Amino acid sequence: MARTADVVIIGGGIHGCSTALHLALRGLKPILIEKDYAGRHASGVNAGGVRQLARDVHEIPLSISSMDIWERIEELVGDDCGFDAHGTVLVAESEAELAGFRERVDDLNLRGFVHEELIDAAELRRLVPAVSEHCPGGVVSRRDGAADPFRTTQAFRRRAVEKGAEVIEGVTVTGLTRIGANWRVETSAGVFEAPRIVNAAGAWADRIAAMLGEPVPLSVVAPMLMVTSRLPPFIKPVVILRGRKLSFKQLENGTVVIGGGHLSTPYRDSNETVLDWEKLAISARTVWELFPAMHEATIVRAWAGIEAYMPDGIPVVGKSSTSEGVFHQFGFSTHGFQLGPGTGAMMAELVATGSTNTPIDGLGIERFQTKQK
Amino acid sequence: MTASADLAPSYELVVIGGGPAGLAAAALAARAGVSTVLFDENPGVGGQIYRAITSTPVKDRAILGEDYWDGAKLAEEAKASGALIVNGATVWSLDRQRIVGISIAGKARMIEAGRVIIATGSQERPFPIPGWTLPGVMTAGAAQTALKAQGLVASGRTVLAGGGPLLWLLAAQTLRAGGKIDAILDTMPRRNWLHAMFHLPGFALSPYFGKGMALLKEVRAKVPIHRADTIEAVGADRVREVLFSSGGETRRLPADLLLLHQGVVPNVNLANAAGVAHVWNDRQLCFVPVLDADFGSSVPGIAVAGDGAGIAGGTAAAERGRIAAIAAVRALKPDCIVPDTQAIRQRLQREEMGRSFLDLLNRPVDAFRQPAGNTIVCRCEEVTANQVRDTAKMGCEGPNQMKAFLRCGMGPCQGRLCGLTVAELISAERGATLDEVGYYRLRPPVKPITLAELASLPISEAERKAVER
């Protein structure tokens, strides 16, 4: 006997859990199927940056709507998720780089986006006193911040269940077929049926898309992070670079998380990653140059989370191009954590009503099919 | 002194750890003609059992015992074999592609290895009792290190607590060195004898039988021994007294130093971080790597020898190192001449013979492995037994989720002091087997390194590639 639901969501990352919660809040009955456990991969082990800064223009509306939710996250999920808003600062390492940032901010302003703000050397030093003297300025997004990723994903999962969603973990989807008005979802724990499906399977989402006859050029990546032992507090905002890969953040407990997108080798079938220490050494040198105070900091752990990267670096969000009742929400290309809350709300609206007020133009899966022809 | 810049980019065999397994493995492989490097993090080789064997200030051979001096021969053989032996070298990373991350005198290097033998030995089992984080509470192993390396014995009122061969050996060594022990609290229950007796015939034939009996007799003649069902270290700023109960009666002993020990378990961190599969060993109450007859692990080209393969003692460790080395030589250079493994396997079997008896006799009781109440479990992040138990009841299925919920195991010790405790507490609360619960997924660096050390890594090639991406 197949179990039935209004929607089957495949994947228990922040996106799947957020969509489950927002569907449940709309009175629908979703079943979420997760092959490991919620937050096991990128959603649970990312750097935790909650950032509107430096985003592709196509995803800025989702990022802004997400930010509105982040600012009342405790109201929504019953947990503050460790969110604090000390801003994100994009540091310019040269006058030429700063000039490029100025163009970007001007362009955003023309489009009506005002969250990015150019800052001079004095304001940069006020926000980030420890930054090296060679940096002439930067960009700040003041509402940005950081949160605890695993705690956040678990909070969405927990609240979704409280509101009527069912979350089934340790179960793999093995087949999808359309039968009448329903989708038949075959899994390692039996069959589920629902008229609608959301593919939020992250680094495994291309396999779901392939079952639907719409292959996507997804690559599996695992950006590396490392964390130091506890240091005295010396920096509040999240700091990122553009020319070199770096994201840098001191947590409340004093540890410093260093990331920025250097990649390890992922093995998605065994849930393993093999770190590339030569690239982490590049991160270490970047930190060394940017924050002289960090020289004797001790690295206690490095890791990587497996996720999906699209060729154009922006996610696949929207209706399937081939299959009625199927929706995609994957491919967040190493910056999907902040987008989770708002994308889940948008997706629930799209699934429930067939359309959404949040602009998602340019994010559809069809952009890959037309290119392939 | 070998600097990290002096190392070749690759070696046919990399041996990690300079205890008996590592020394024997490196000596055999190098003599057979394989380019071999042995990395050891201490100032001199010997590991724990033969610590400071080439430099100890304790010259009276009787103090540390003749078994200790067996290590000198192993060290000499390794030195004479042609293997490059690098001391002061911390291996902080190993992956399934056999890239070894090493740091020497503050400079890091990545070295490629044709084969790897992990010989990182054992560590003391966590002994979480109330007050074990107080200054003045140490492990017996730490005290033994001070004795071997610096010739130091404890002054002040000293209480030893726990059980297992090392506890009694340390007691004897301390007494011989002129130290004083005020009391030993024996935590091994008498009923262990019932389970162990079945294996007594095997033990009686093993070399440990006579030595063990003599050791117990030597210590019992000089130190009062009490049975203890519970132990607590008490003191505001440091340990002042030890509270213990036996048969419902509580007693207090004044103490300046409390040395805890309840056996040793494999040090799994490096193998685990390299992706080597482990299983629970219920007789030794610890996780052990899954190994073939040549000590090869689930990761091709990586072997685990010595006590890291399961506790069997120093002599067995050397034989295991030799077997692993022979397999490595055969794989790397099939034409090289190696000794026949048959004789080595027979010697190993003899060494391992009494192990069941020792394991069962020295099996720590649940109460000392699965603490209750507010006893600290994870020292780095100050997580208590109750927090772990409550989180397990809430639905947390394993140590990796526990890490995410409570941060236990995420401090600088990388779970060495809490991993087994957390796994056992989850198992107890959820009624799941230890294999279902599993262990921490360990992340490199397996030993902390500074940002400066990491930044010192030569990276010209990698930098070029990174710019391309």
pLDDT digits (tens, 9 = 90+) for B424-444: 999 999 999 999 999 999 989
The ipTM assigned to this model is 0.86
User: What's the rounded mean pLDDT across residues A83-98?
Assistant: 96
- In chain A, residues with a C-beta closer than 8 Å to the C-beta of B452 are 284, 288, 295-296
Interchain CB contact of B133 with A (< 8 Å): no
Per-residue confidence (pLDDT) for residue A373, from 0 to 100: 42
Which pLDDT band, with edges at 50, 70 and 90, does A279 fall under?
A: very high
Write down the pLDDT at residue A370.
Answer: 61
Domain CATH for A294: 3.30.9.10
Instruction: Give how many domains chain B has, as a whole number.
Output: 3
Q: What is the mean pLDDT of chain A?
A: 95
Look at residue B153 and tell me if it is in a domain. Answer: yes
**CB-CB under 8 Å, B443 with A303:** yes
Q: Is the pLDDT of residue A1 over 90?
A: no
Cβ-Cβ contacts under 8 Å, A228 against chain B: 451
Q: Is residue A120 part of a domain?
A: yes
Q: Give the per-residue pLDDT at B323.
A: 98
| Rounded-to-integer distance, Cα B363 and Cα B365, Å | 6
3-class SS shares of chain B: helix, strand, coil, % to 5:
40, 20, 40
Secondary structure (3-state) at A347: helix
- Identify the domain boundary among B262, B296, B322: B262
Task: Read off the pLDDT band of B468 (50, 70, 90).
Answer: very low
B457 within a domain of the structure (yes/no) = no
The answer to whether residue A279 neighbours chain B at the CB level (below 8 Å) is yes
Q: With 90 as the cut, is the pLDDT of residue A67 above it?
A: yes
Reported as a single tens digit per residue, the pLDDT across A318-340 is: 999 999 999 999 999 999 999 99
Angstroms from B27 CA to nearest CA on chain A: 30
Task: Give tens-digit pLDDT for B364-419.
Answer: 999 999 999 999 999 999 999 999 999 999 988 999 999 988 999 988 888 999 99
Same domain, A322 and A203: yes
Q: Which residues of B touch A299 (CB under 8 A)?
A: 445, 448-451, 454
Whole-Å CA distances, B25 to B19, B20, B72, B90, B387: 10, 8, 15, 19, 43
Residue A60 lies in a domain: yes
- In whole numbers, what is the pLDDT of chain B averaged over residues? 93
CB B240 within 8 A of CB B395: no
Radius of gyration of chain A (CA): 21
| Model confidence band, residue B354 (pLDDT cutoffs 50, 70, 90) | confident
pLDDT score for A265: 94
Q: Does B251 lie in the same domain as B136?
A: yes
Residue of A270, A301, A306, A333 best to disrupt the B interface, most CBs of B under 10 A: A301
Residues in CB range of B461: below 8 A, 6 or more apart = A278
Is the domain of A285 the same as that of A322? no
Residues on chain A touching B97 (C-beta within 8 angstroms):
274
Q: What is the pLDDT of residue B155?
A: 84
- Region B317-335: mean pLDDT is 97
Residue B459 has pLDDT above 70, yes or no: no
- At residue B211, the pLDDT reads 84
Q: Which of A283, A309, A335 is the last residue of a domain?
A: A309
Rounded CA gap, A306 and A131, in Å?
A: 31
Share of chain B above pLDDT 90, in %: 81
Asked if residue A154 and residue A248 are part of one domain, the reply reads no
How far off is chain B from A38, nearest CA to CA, in Å? 10
**A275-314 burial, b if ≥16 CB within 10 A, otherwise e?**
bbbbbbbbbbbbbbbbbeebeebbbbbbbbbbbbbbebeb
Task: Mark yes or no for CB contact B449/A299 under 8 Å.
Answer: yes
User: Do both B244 and B310 map to the same domain?
Assistant: no
Question: Band of the pLDDT at B461, cuts 50, 70, 90?
Answer: low
| C-alpha atoms less than 13 angstroms from C-alpha of B312 in its C-beta half-sphere | 24
Give CA–CA dist A91/A244, Å, rounded: 10
Nearest to A281 among B443, B450, B454 (CB): B454
Which letter, b or e, does each residue of A346-367 get, where b requires 16 or more Cβ atoms within 10 Å of its Cβ? bbbbbbbeeebebebeebbbeb
- Residue B463 falls inside a structural domain: no
Q: Which residue of B has its CA nearest to A272?
A: B275
Judge if B216 and B308 occupy the same domain. no
User: Hey, are the CB atoms on A297 and B99 less than 8 Å from each other?
Assistant: no
Chain B CB within 8 Å of residue A363 CB: no
User: How many other CB atoms are found less than 10 A from the CB of residue B81?
Assistant: 20
Classify the phi-psi angles of B366: left when phi > 0, otherwise alpha if psi is within -120 to 50, otherwise beta. Answer: alpha
**pLDDT (tens digit per residue) in B205-240:** 777 788 888 899 999 999 999 999 999 999 999 999
Of the two residues A9 and B204, the one the predictor is more confident about is: A9
Whose CA is closest to B290, among B299, B282, B438? B299
Answer with the one of B227, B262, B297 that is the final residue of a domain: B262
Question: What is d(CA A86, CA A70) in angstroms, rounded to the nearest whole number?
Answer: 13
Task: Please compute the mean of the pLDDT values over residues A148-167 and round it to a whole number.
Answer: 97
Can you give the residue range of the structural domain that contains A290? 85-143+219-309
Residues of B in contact with A263 (CB under 8 A): 469
| Residue A307, pLDDT score | 97
Structure letter (DSSP) for residue B308? G
Note whether residue A71 is domain-resident: no
Per-residue confidence band for B467, with pLDDT thresholds at 50, 70 and 90: very low
B382 at A interface, C-beta within 8 A? no
Percent of chain A with pLDDT over 90: 93
Question: In whole angstroms, how far apart are CA B397 and each of B285, B390, B423?
Answer: 19, 12, 10
- Partners of residue B108 in chain A, C-beta under 8 Å: 277, 281
- Quick check: B445 and B93 in contact, CB under 8 A? yes
CA distance B26 to B19: 11
Asked if the structure places residue B227 within a domain, the reply is yes
> Does the CB of B443 have a partner CB in chain A at under 8 Å?
yes
pLDDT over 70 at B149, yes or no: yes
Q: Please count the residue pairs, one from chain A and one from chain B, whose beta carbons lie less than 8 angstroms apart.
A: 102
* Total tally of structural domains belonging to chain A: 2
Decide: A16 and A156 in contact? Cβ < 8 Å: no
Is B206 within a domain? yes
**pLDDT confidence band for A304 (50 / 70 / 90):** very high
State the pLDDT at residue A345: 98
What pLDDT digit, counting tens, does each position of A184-224 carry? 999 999 999 999 999 999 999 999 999 999 999 999 999 99
**Last residue in a domain, options A282, A309, A336:** A309
Residues of chain A neighbouring B405 (CB-CB closer than 8 A) = 150, 154
Backbone dihedral region for residue B105 (phi beyond 0: left; psi -120 to 50: alpha; all else: beta): left
| Confidence check: pLDDT of B464 > 90 | no
Cβ atoms within 10 Å, residue B468: 6
> A151-184 as b/e, with b when 16 or more CB fall inside 10 Å?
bbbbbbbbbbbebebbbbbebebeebeeeeebbb
Give the model's confidence band at A296: pLDDT under 50 very low, under 70 low, under 90 confident, else very high: confident
Each residue of B76-85: pLDDT tens digit?
Answer: 999 999 999 9
Residues A210 and A224 in one domain: no
- From the list B444, B450, B469, the residue facing A275 with the nearest CB is B444
Q: Which residues of A touch B404 (CB under 8 A)?
A: 39, 44, 150-151, 154
Do residues A295 and A163 both lie within one domain?
no
Same domain, B244 and B287: no
Place of tokens 């340990």: B239
CATH number of the domain that residue B65 is part of: 3.50.50.60
Average of pLDDT values for A104-129? Answer: 96
What is the arithmetic mean of pLDDT over B175-184? 95
The answer to whether A276 touches A231, Cβ cutoff 8 Å, is no
Provide the residue count of chain B. 469
Confidence of residue A33 (pLDDT cuts 50, 70, 90): very high
Is B173 buried (19+), middle (13-18) or exposed (0-12) by CB count in 10 A? buried
Instruction: Determine the residue of chain B that is closest to A243 in CA distance.
Output: B467
The tokens for B301 are 């080209």
Residues spanned by the domain of B273: 9-123+265-338
Answer whether residue A76 is part of any domain: no
- Listed in sequence order, the DSSP H helices in B81-207 are 140-150, 165-176, 192-197, 200-205
Q: What is the mean pLDDT of residues A253-266?
A: 93
Confidence class for position B460, pLDDT limits 50, 70, 90: low
- CB neighbours (10 Å) of residue B357? 24
Residue B379 lies in a domain: yes
A36: distance to nearest CA of chain B, Å?
11
Q: pLDDT tens digits for B41-69?
A: 999 999 999 999 998 999 999 999 888 99
Q: Cα-Cα-Cα-Cα dihedral of A30, A31, A34, A40, to 10°?
A: 50
Give the C-alpha separation, B292 to B277, whole Å.
Answer: 12
Q: Are residues A298 and A153 in the same domain?
A: no
Average pLDDT over residues A112-136: 95
Task: State whether B459 and A263 contact (CB < 8 Å).
Answer: no
Least CA distance to B96: which residue of chain A? A274
pLDDT at B231: 98
The bridge status of strand B383-384 relative to strand A298-304 is: unpaired
Tokens read off for A267: 């093995």
Cα distance between residue A186 and residue A206, in whole Å: 17
Taking the C-alpha atoms of residue B349 and residue B168, their distance in angstroms, rounded to an integer, is: 24
Q: Does position A28 have pLDDT exceeding 90, yes or no?
A: yes
